């Protein structure tokens, strides 16, 4: 087909190089050649597109949101190939590979997606709020001062306009990094298991680190995520425990029914708290000295689902949230948050960058595994959530 196209193009050039006007027959031939060339090019494009599509359909994909079931043995096989050679079986087109001098091999994207799933599966604040993936910084319009209409006018009368002040929430990309070393012998002799364990440990470490940033450690602004456990957050609904330094189930009931504006009931809510706070609530006794929060009807605590509920609302446990003692020490630190999922957003930059480097520490007989993850957290609608702080003495 390529030779035919070259022949037609040569014939076309020969006609166009003729001096003077072309005859009607020559003009007709020019049109005919152009049509033939266009047909050949269309068929070539179609064949190339079909070939590309067929190759892609034959590949194994572990993409997030893939409806197909992913078998663990398939994932392990991909880990093994990558651990052994720095590559995997599907060729160079779907991964990033750097030369030896640049430090090593990047993890294929399908394995990165599996790591992200592991990270999102770590118990913590990610389960209670809105998590979005972005490839860039974003700015979200926000109503800074919500309008309040206090009067009405008669028919045909002048009205007083109610203004609305808009602001914007900007996300940043704060980065965490991890690095692990293993011997070349271990990396070679225990390839699938050791690589998978290392990368999953990195994913868990990044998740726990940022869980602390979202909960209490973030500096806000351009210096870190905005923190969730902050009684002084602008627009956040705040309630106080009835007793000094003590949290009981009645305080949670008051937070939902008294602290949350009625128009926001019915949202996707979670209780977010530290294990020490949950422990206090679980130990509360009723008037008959029985646990007020009875265990679910299963044989043992070991068989209970990881996400229990209080008042029908799921309980999300974060080991990075303020402890019961932290809440007792400061009114600015809530003991528990009633979080609506839409009130706070986590902005992730994906994929998490992971690298296998057998060169920079090669003289020491080590293989290096590095990972970097970028994320941010911002309040979008704090008025949809409630902070429960402990009454101070």
In a domain, 229, yes or no: yes
Q: Are residues 115 and 45 in the same domain?
A: no
Q: Are residues 119 and 261 in the same domain?
A: yes
pLDDT in tens, 353-388: 777 787 888 889 888 888 889 999 999 999 999 999
Q: Are residues 79 and 196 in the same domain?
A: yes
Q: Are residues 4 and 99 in the same domain?
A: no
In a domain, 19, yes or no: no
In a domain, 61, yes or no: no
pLDDT of 24 reads 81
Predicted confidence (pLDDT) at residue 302 exceeds the cutoff of 70: no
pLDDT in tens, 35-79: 888 888 878 877 777 776 666 555 444 333 343 444 555 555 655
pLDDT band at residue 212 under the 50/70/90 scheme: very high
In a domain, 245, yes or no: yes
Q: Is 235 left (phi over 0), alpha (psi -120 to 50) or beta?
A: left
Q: Find the CATH number of the domain harbouring 129.
A: 3.30.2400.10
Average pLDDT, the chain: 79
Predicted confidence (pLDDT) at residue 322 exceeds the cutoff of 70: yes
Count of structural domains within the chain: 2
In a domain, 267, yes or no: yes
Predicted confidence (pLDDT) at residue 307 exceeds the cutoff of 50: no
Predicted confidence (pLDDT) at residue 296 exceeds the cutoff of 80: no
Q: Are residues 43 and 81 in the same domain?
A: no
Instruction: Please tell me the distance from the alpha carbon of residue 44 to that of residue 39, in angstroms, as a whole number.
Output: 9
**For 235-244, what is the mean pLDDT?**
94
Q: Are residues 41 and 165 in the same domain?
A: no
Q: Are residues 185 and 328 in the same domain?
A: yes
In a domain, 300, yes or no: no
pLDDT band at residue 136 under the 50/70/90 scheme: confident
Q: Are residues 175 and 288 in the same domain?
A: yes
In a domain, 22, yes or no: no
pLDDT of 42 reads 79
Q: Are residues 87 and 133 in the same domain?
A: yes
pLDDT band at residue 91 under the 50/70/90 scheme: very low
> Domain span at residue 342?
73-150+161-294+306-393
Q: Are residues 45 and 171 in the same domain?
A: no
Least confident segment among 116-125, 144-153, 303-312? 303-312
Least confident segment among 126-135, 136-145, 257-266? 136-145
Q: Are residues 107 and 42 in the same domain?
A: no
Q: Are residues 323 and 286 in the same domain?
A: yes
In a domain, 231, yes or no: yes
Q: What is the pTM of this model?
A: 0.69
**For 93-121, what is the mean pLDDT?**
56
């Amino acid at each position: 087909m390529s030779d035919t196209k070259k022949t037609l193009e040569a014939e076309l050039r020969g006609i166009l190089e003729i001096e003077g006007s072309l005859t009607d027959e020559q003009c007709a031939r020019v049109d005919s050649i152009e049509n033939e060339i266009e047909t050949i090019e269309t068929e070539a494009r179609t064949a190339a597109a079909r070939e590309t599509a067929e190759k892609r359909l034959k590949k194994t994909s572990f993409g997030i949101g893939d409806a197909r079931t992913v078998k663990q043995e398939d994932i392990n096989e991909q880990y093994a190939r990558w651990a052994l050679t720095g590559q995997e079986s599907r060729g160079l087109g779907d991964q990033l590979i750097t030369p030896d001098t640049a430090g090593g091999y990047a993890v294929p994207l399908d394995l990165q997606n599996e790591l992200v799933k592991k990270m999102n599966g770590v118990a913590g604040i990610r389960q209670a709020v809105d998590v979005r993936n972005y490839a860039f910084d974003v700015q979200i319009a926000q109503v800074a001062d919500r309008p309040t209409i206090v009067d009405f006018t008669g028919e045909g009368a002048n009205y007083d306009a109610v203004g609305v002040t808009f602001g914007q929430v900007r996300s940043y990309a704060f980065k965490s990094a991890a690095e692990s070393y293993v011997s070349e012998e271990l990396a070679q002799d225990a390839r699938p298991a050791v690589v998978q364990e290392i990368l999953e440990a990195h994913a868990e470490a990044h998740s726990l680190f940022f869980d602390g940033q979202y909960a209490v450690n973030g500096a806000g602004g351009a210096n870190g995520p905005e923190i969730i456990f902050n009684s002084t957050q602008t627009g956040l609904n705040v309630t106080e425990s009835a007793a000094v330094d003590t949290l009981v189930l009645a305080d949670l009931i008051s937070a939902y029914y008294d602290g949350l504006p009625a128009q926001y009931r019915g949202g996707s809510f979670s209780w977010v708290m530290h294990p020490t706070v949950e422990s206090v609530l679980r130990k509360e006794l009723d008037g008959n000295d029985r646990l007020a929060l009875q265990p679910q009807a299963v044989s043992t605590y070991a068989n209970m689902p990881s996400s229990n509920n209080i008042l029908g609302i799921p309980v999300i446990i974060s080991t990075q949230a303020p402890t019961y003692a932290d809440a007792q020490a400061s009114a600015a630190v809530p003991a528990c948050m009633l979080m609506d999922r839409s009130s706070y957003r986590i902005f992730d930059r994906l994929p998490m960058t992971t690298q296998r480097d057998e060169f920079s520490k090669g003289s020491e007989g080590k293989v290096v595994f590095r990972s970097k993850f970028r994320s941010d957290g911002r309040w979008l609608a704090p008025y949809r959530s409630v902070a429960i702080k402990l009454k101070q003495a």
